[in-house]
Chain A
Amino acid sequence: MAQIIQIDRPVETSKSKNVIRKTMSICPECMKILPADVFERDGKVFMSKVCPTHGEVEELYFGSYEMYTKFSTYWTDGKGALSPNVPIDKCACPTNCGLCSNHLSHTGLGNMIITNRCDLTCWYCFFYVKKGLEGAYVYEPTMEQMTAMIRTLRAQRPVPGNSMQITGGEPTLREDLVDIVKMIKREGINHVQLNTNGINIALNTDLALKLREAGVSNLYLSFDGVTPKTNPKNHWEAPYTIENCRKAHLGVVLVPTVIKSINDHELGDILRFAQTNIDTVRAISYQPVSLTGRMSKKEREKYRITIPDCIERIEEQTNGEVTKDDWFPVPTCSPVTHFIEAFTKKPQYELSIHFACGAGTYVFEDADTKKLVPITKFVDIRGLLEFLEEKTEELESGANRYVIAARFLSKINGFVNKEKQPKGLSLAKLLTSALLKHDYSSVGQFHLNSMFLGMMHFQDKYNQDEERLQRCDIHYVTPDMRIIPFCSFNVIPEWYRDRIQQKYGMPIEEWEKKTGEKLEQRLYRGTLRRNIAKHEMNQMACATQAAHIEPITGT
């Protein structure tokens, strides 16, 4: 690393605070590594840190202390990666990514950027390559480089990487996208997700089918709202994208970046839109905004929204159909994983991220009332998890696995309220197949008239928490054969994203010469918007200029 890494000693910042825990973070100005307090005030959780040069930064960390407390009880550390790409002794996150020997989660989802070109030119985004900027480069790894990246991911132990997201820029701009998908599948990756703005899939009716046949499991479709004002990116195109996916039997995950005062009033409407497309939309992944770039405290307060705030808005905006009690933090899955590990005596794929990083729930559509029924309404989740923890302990203490299986079978129905269970679903049967027989084919049944609602709050320089980062399981694979946690890669792009892509990219002129294409040639010209009234277009322009925020996900 070229930079000099500075680490500061603890400063007394917490005299009058109700400090919940202490951690390490960075100064958003100079990236110095600083001690930080996570503390409670007025029912919310904040983070504060003091840089000797740039002063104190205080930031909202989690919008509800009550939810923070509930979520924290699910904290467990993962198995980590026993085959580190950066072997080190001492831990100075985020300077040694990665994965270094101290990382605590194996890859849950690997991201591979296949291009930094885009067919949109969102004014606020500086992720995609644009002409006229000094040193601008096109980053498009070769098939050999990509194969090597996937092999690096597959070499991870104890759990080889098994789930990939192809991302960009806009990945559909690459002519060899279908071949890339085929290569990833050939290398043994099970789940392939395509992160896209969906425009090319809306325009090319057969692309969705080609992608599904090549092995794409689902689209990860940017979708920020239900009006042109809140979703200027693909409001007009998304319905066509979904329709083409429907015809191709390709699932879609809607991905709204949630910004307070911009689109946080539409979280319920996004859910309703998804519900009307429940045959194709498998999930919504709400992403509270990550505030990149320099922002004043006032600006941050205007736009900052956290996981509990989004969950509360969803409760309000669905008239209590999906309540805050229906959500669980991601590591809630761990007791299930540990049970399977104790049962099979083999390390299993585990979602061991920090409890403050993400949350989720399942909702089912009631066939008669068309209301959404969260899984918590018919499954005693806590009771089930406690039962699994108890059985895991018994297995690890030498109990006979057949005896445990018999006890499991005799008890499992007690956790499911059959009266309230949606028609056509037998959760007890499904859990028995998945947990005891490791037959996941029936899990598909889960998706019948159901959706997964997920949330992940990517970090930024203001709220960065090394306890979260060290447990990150959303990673990037890079051509220098490293695997870098998402919130290092994007939060400190000058150390990771930009540096690596510049190294492996080429100047625009060279790329144009090599390909015989002009960079602007593939820009989207609004074909699907041609008949839209002018005033509606103007509305869109207003919305895009209202927020000075860069989305962190690329597309």
Chain B
Amino acid sequence: MVARPAPAPVPGALADRPVRRDGPPPATEGDVWALLSQIPDPEIPVISITDLGIVREVALDGRAVRVAITPTYSGCPATFVIAIAVEAALLDAGLTPTVTSRIDPPWTTDWLTEAAREKLRRYGIAPPATRGPEACPHCGATTVTQVSRHGSTPCKAQWRCDACAEPFDYFKCH
């Protein structure tokens, strides 16, 4: 039999990796939130996971920290990557993390921060609004047309500006 290559490392098995640590571990839950606010969304890196509103709870008890994350869409592949990034960041900070998934109450785009909406706009993604995109994120025109109800990731739809004719992503209201 031909020898098969060793399996790839299992995500989540992070405990044995070398820890990068500068300074003392976070001492308050506020410090942990600040740390988490530095972790970018893997698919829209201009916004952080706290901007996205998916960190639902942080509970710090000495060096042990519990973080509850909610998925945006139930099949979003980024959820898994985010959980690994959170675990890695907390380990690097000298904490012992337990990362859990919490689906109740379900994520809604209402939890996007105002800062996140502005960052999306500047990045070229129209932020969610009840009646579809309010304006083209490129030129600001308000005459826009839906191209498709879905886009490159579960959270986006494809639209086009009637004024500048550029296509753009719209972060769907959810």
Q: Do A and B bind each other?
A: no
Interface set of A (CB-CB < 8 Å, partner B):
none
Interface set of B (CB-CB < 8 Å, partner A):
none
